[in-house]
Amino acid sequence: DAKTTQPPSMDCAEGRAANLPCNHSTISGNEYVYWYRQIHSQGPQYIIHGLKNNETNEMASLIITEDRKSSTLILPHATLRDTAVYYCIVDGNNRLAFGKGNQVVVIP
Amino acid sequence: GAVVSQHPSRVICKSGTSVKIECRSLDFQATTMFWYRQFPKQSLMLMATSNEGSKATYEQGVEKDKFLINHASLTLSTLTVTSAHPEDSSFYICSARDTGQPQHFGDGTRLSIL
């Protein structure tokens, strides 16, 4: 059963911030939120993960709501190379269950 | 950091052949490695999990005698598809993680069985 809900697709403008939503209303207290992306014909790339605090690294920021039932991945300045399928995954034991993801297309 | 190398990237072989795929963690110790399979236009499906020095744990529906997994060292795991048939054609992807760290993935192996 899918533990997360993402839009199937979205377009983002190049150079703008891209905000990717994810709902995970049944998340358990010990489960992390992971974000990966997969560019066509490649293996998934780790982006970021968090438990309850907001996180930021060189790729993106992760904003988790206080009730932890949803989160947003923010790509601060989208580029054409950010076009990919983005997966939001909730997991407590690092056995990642990939859903269908969000096909993000960055438009010039 | 956290680089996972997978080899070969593409294999084309005849039906009945056995194929070995290697997965290496280049700059960290992989206490756990995972093998996934991805069919066209579908998402990744976990096949098995292996801890170094232990037998792999297979997901339901994955034949352990057909997909042999060896994780003999902290940097290397292999997946052997035995007696491969056309229905085994798929994109096989490995991942590796150190204790307490997220999984990092290889670039996958596209297997085509003729």
Q: B62-94 pLDDT, tens per residue?
A: 999 999 999 889 999 999 999 999 999 999 999
Chain B contacts of A95, Cβ < 8 Å?
A: 34, 46, 49
**Does residue B113 sit at the A interface (CB-CB below 8 Å)?**
no
Res A94: pLDDT: 74
CB B113 within 8 A of CB B14: yes
Using one digit for the tens of pLDDT, what is the confidence trace for A33-83? 999 999 988 999 999 999 999 999 999 999 999 999 999 999 999 999 999
- Are residues B105 and A101, on separate chains, in Cβ contact within 8 Å? no
Q: What letter would DSSP give residue A39?
A: -
Q: d(Cα B57, Cα A17) in Å, to the nearest integer?
A: 41
The token pair at A84 is: 């990919």
In Å, how far is A42's CA from the nearest CA of chain B? 5
- Are residues A46 and B49, on separate chains, in Cβ contact within 8 Å? no
- Are residues B97 and A46, on separate chains, in Cβ contact within 8 Å? no
* Residue type at position A106: V
For chain A, percent helix, then strand, then coil, each to nearest 5?
5, 45, 50
Using one digit for the tens of pLDDT, what is the confidence trace for A29-39? 899 999 999 99
CB B11 within 8 A of CB B110: yes
Q: Which of A38, A96, A99 lies at the smallest CB-CB distance from B103?
A: A96
- Are residues A43 and B103, on separate chains, in Cβ contact within 8 Å? no
Res A2: pLDDT: 58
Give yes or no for residue A1 having a pLDDT over 70.
no
Q: Which of A44, A97, A101 lies at the smallest CB-CB distance from B105?
A: A44
Res A16: pLDDT: 97
Identify which of B107, B109, B110, B111 has the alpha carbon closest to the alpha carbon of residue B3. B107
- Are residues A43 and B106, on separate chains, in Cβ contact within 8 Å? yes
Identify which of B103, B97, B88, B89 has the alpha carbon closest to the alpha carbon of residue A89. B103
Q: d(Cα A46, Cα A89) in Å, to the nearest integer?
A: 11
- Are residues A43 and B6, on separate chains, in Cβ contact within 8 Å? yes
